[in-house]
């Protein structure tokens, strides 16, 4: 590690929802920065105006806020290296592109989109590079006076990097070790588009340099772009300031074949975005982990374990623990299969570990969304403590707790009727009478009284415990039945027994 202050960045394009792979990239950047007392920068790469989507930037910021991964510098909070939107930095990039042209590392290309399409159709595997560049319309093939005339006339053009021939470019990746590329296999990428906007290739290098980024973590799908970026750092004279690179492994489909996509989520029935994303252009809603009922702590925890571990069998980590234990050397080279059942396991574990007070507002929102009014927060806290171990998603709190607030609207009558008898009716009539006399309405006392009456009446637990549960909650679910009765209170418990008896005996 150098003596420079660690500075990392996440640089998304505001073109749609935030894939869980993107959030994992944020997380690893954030963990590395905080581990080394550095800065985490959010930079919006909105240079491709044709793909810009209104609302996408706010969505990205909301996702990071929900996850608790708050940038030290961003378009919202500002910073010493503002502006943090590339569209607001447009004037910067042309000067660097022109410098590359002057020094022979880049050139003007005047080919029209139609001409390029024609070449792609007529020439198999056409690439705009060293093999064809001299036969195309650019400042390498044209005479200088022709180039000047075209520029003076305002002819639309792009600036392309001039990739060298027959060279090998290498760098050391923090995850993959030594990586090499043959320049003959890389085309002359566009650096500055006809509208004056930079492409990702130029903008990322210029901005990383000007913002003093020390480490660049990104997905392995960007590896093919690395030789262009390495050359730009060298050609612009900034090689000594180039960040250290780490190309993160892909998050794979559950079967391990290929990168996990939005379509895979739709096909297999799970989200791949952090939060719900509505694409107004096509009227399509893509579901998110937040709305499905994931806690942000669980979401971050499961992402951290996709491609990283701390060298032990531990799987549950708080954000502070992840910061303390994170090491880029323990990030795997190979892709990580996404397992939705495992993801739900993480959420269930986090729900168990989270205090009722911390869950209260989220659970209240779930219940009120279903039309259940919550008027007593202390009552809700007691319910959460009793049922949270039975919940995998926040949405589960409705099914697991609605009966605490509302009398069951229907009963699992088929589990009761076949074995119902007069003896059982008598048991519950006597139970109501005995419960009416109870002074201290506590779970253990209710259970003892219930079991004593069973013995007195010569009944077994299998005869009356299930009917009692169904009387109180409507079905075969819920926590310890006497804990339920204790929370419902004396009058409500007796009323529910009486009401259910009428149904069972109908």
- Catalytic entry in 262, 382, 457, 490: 262
DSSP secondary structure code for residue 40 in this structure: E
- Percent of the residues in the chain that have a pLDDT greater than 90, as a whole number: 96
51 — pLDDT class (breaks 50, 70, 90): confident
Gyration radius of the chain over CA positions: 32
pTM exceeds 0.75, yes or no: yes
Burial code (b: 16+ CB inside 10 Å, e: under 16) for 368-406 equals eeeeeebeeeeebbbbbbbbbebbbbbebbbbbbbbbee
Predicted confidence (pLDDT) at residue 85 exceeds the cutoff of 70: yes
d(CA 482, CA 468): 10
Statement: residue 430 has pLDDT above 70:
yes
pLDDT at 207 (0 to 100): 98
Three-state SS string over 435-492 comes to HHCCCCCCHHHHHHHHHHHHHHHCCCHHHHHHHHHHHHHCCCCCCCHHHHHHHHCHHH
pLDDT at residue 307 in the model = 95
pLDDT of residue 120: 95
Let me know the angle formed at the C-alpha of 445 by 441 and 446, rounded to the nearest 5 degrees: 75
Res 50: pLDDT: 82
Reported as a pLDDT band with limits 50, 70 and 90, residue 48 is confident
User: Does pLDDT of 301 surpass 90?
Assistant: yes
The residue with tokens 């913002």 is 211
- Give the per-residue pLDDT at 2: 58
3 state SS of 31: helix
Q: CA geometry: angle at 207 spanning 204 and 209, to 5°?
A: 105
Residue 262 is a catalytic residue: yes
Write down all domains in the chain, each with its CATH number in brackets. 1-74+249-353 (3.40.50.620), 88-248 (3.90.800.10), 355-402 (1.10.8.70), 407-506 (1.10.10.350)
CA distance linking residue 466 with residue 454, whole number of Å: 13
To the nearest 10 degrees (0 to 180), the angle between helices 56-67 and 20-35 is 50
What is the per-residue pLDDT across 326-346, written as a single tens digit (0 to 9) for each?
999 999 999 999 999 999 999
Q: What is the pLDDT of residues 194-218, one digit of tens each?
A: 999 999 999 999 999 999 999 999 9
Mean pLDDT score across all residues of the chain: 96
pLDDT digits (tens, 9 = 90+) for 27-36: 999 999 999 9
Band the pLDDT of 52: cuts 50, 70, 90: confident
What are the residue ranges of helices labelled H in 310-394? 319-325, 340-353, 356-369, 377-387
Identify the CA nearest to 301 among candidates 8, 31, 119, 488: 31
Asked if 229 contacts 193 with a C-beta cutoff of 8 angstroms, the reply is: no
262 among the known binding-site residues? yes
**Predicted pLDDT of residue 1:** 55
Cα–Cα distance measured from residue 11 to residue 31, given in angstroms and rounded to the nearest whole number: 16
- What are 2-12's pLDDT values in tens digits? 578 999 999 99
- For the segment 257-272, what is each residue's pLDDT rounded down to a tens digit? 999 999 999 999 999 9
Token output for 340: 């939705």
pLDDT of residue 506: 87
- Would you list the DSSP string of 221-247? GGGGGHHHHHHHHHHTT-GGGPPEEEE
What is the pLDDT, as a whole number, of residue 282?
Answer: 84
- Name the residue among 191, 203, 200, 126 with its Cα closest to residue 162: 191
Token pair in block for residue 370: 């279903």
Task: Quick: pLDDT tens for 399-428.
Answer: 999 999 999 999 999 999 999 999 999 999
């Amino acid at each position: 590690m150098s003596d420079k202050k660690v500075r990392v960045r996440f640089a998304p394009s505001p073109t749609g929802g935030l894939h869980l792979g993107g959030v994992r990239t944020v997380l690893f950047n954030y963990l590395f920065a905080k581990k080394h007392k550095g800065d985490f920068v959010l930079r919006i790469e909105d240079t491709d105006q044709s793909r810009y989507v209104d609302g996408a930037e706010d969505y990205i910021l909301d996702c990071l806020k929900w996850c608790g991964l708050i940038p030290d510098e961003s378009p919202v909070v500002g910073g010493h290296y503002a502006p943090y939107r590339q569209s607001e930095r447009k004037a910067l990039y042309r000067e660097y592109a022109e410098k590359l042209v002057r020094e022979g590392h880049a050139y003007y290309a005047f080919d029209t989109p139609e001409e390029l399409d024609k070449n792609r159709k007529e020439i198999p595997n056409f690439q705009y590079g060293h093999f064809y560049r001299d036969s195309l319309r650019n400042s390498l093939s044209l005479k200088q006076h022709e180039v000047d005339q075209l520029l003076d006339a305002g002819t639309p053009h792009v600036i392309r990097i001039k990739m060298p021939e027959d060279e090998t470019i290498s760098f050391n990746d923090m995850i993959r070790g030594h990586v090499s590329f043959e320049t003959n296999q890389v085309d002359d990428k566009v650096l500055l588009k006809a509208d004056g906007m930079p492409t990702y290739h130029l903008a990322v290098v210029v901005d990383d340099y000007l913002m003093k980024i020390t480490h660049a973590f990104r997905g392995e799908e960007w590896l093919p772009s690395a030789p262009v970026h390495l050359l730009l750092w060298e050609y612009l004279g900034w090689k000594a300031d180039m960040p250290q690179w780490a190309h993160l492994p892909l998050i794979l489909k559950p079967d391990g074949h290929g990168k996990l996509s939005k379509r895979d989520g739709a096909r297999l029935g799970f989200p791949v975005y952090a939060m719900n994303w509505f694409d107004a252009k096509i009227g399509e809603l893509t579901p998110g982990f937040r709305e499905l009922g994931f806690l942000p702590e669980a979401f971050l925890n499961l992402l951290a374990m996709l491609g990283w571990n701390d060298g032990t069998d531990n799987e549950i980590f708080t954000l502070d623990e992840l910061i303390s234990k994170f090491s880029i050397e323990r990030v795997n080279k190979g892709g990580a299969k996404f397992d939705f059942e495992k993801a739900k396991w993480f959420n269930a574990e986090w729900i168990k570990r989270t205090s009722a007070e911390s869950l209260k507002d989220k659970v209240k929102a779930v219940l009120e969304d279903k039309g259940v009014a919550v008027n007593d927060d202390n009552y809700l806290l007691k319910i959460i403590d009793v049922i949270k171990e039975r919940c995998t998603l926040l949405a589960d709190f409705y099914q697991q707790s609605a009966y605490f607030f509302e009398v069951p609207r229907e009963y699992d009558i088929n589990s009761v009727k076949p074995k119902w008898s007069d003896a059982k009716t008598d048991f519950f009539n006597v139970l109501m009478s005995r419960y009416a006399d109870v002074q201290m309405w506590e779970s253990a006392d209710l259970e003892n009284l219930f079991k004593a009456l069973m013995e007195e009446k010569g009944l077994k637990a299998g005869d009356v415990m299930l009917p009692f549960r169904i009387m109180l909650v409507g079905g075969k679910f819920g926590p310890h039945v006497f804990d339920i009765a204790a929370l419902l209170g004396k009058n409500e418990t007796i009323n529910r027994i009486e009401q259910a008896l009428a149904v069972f005996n109908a």
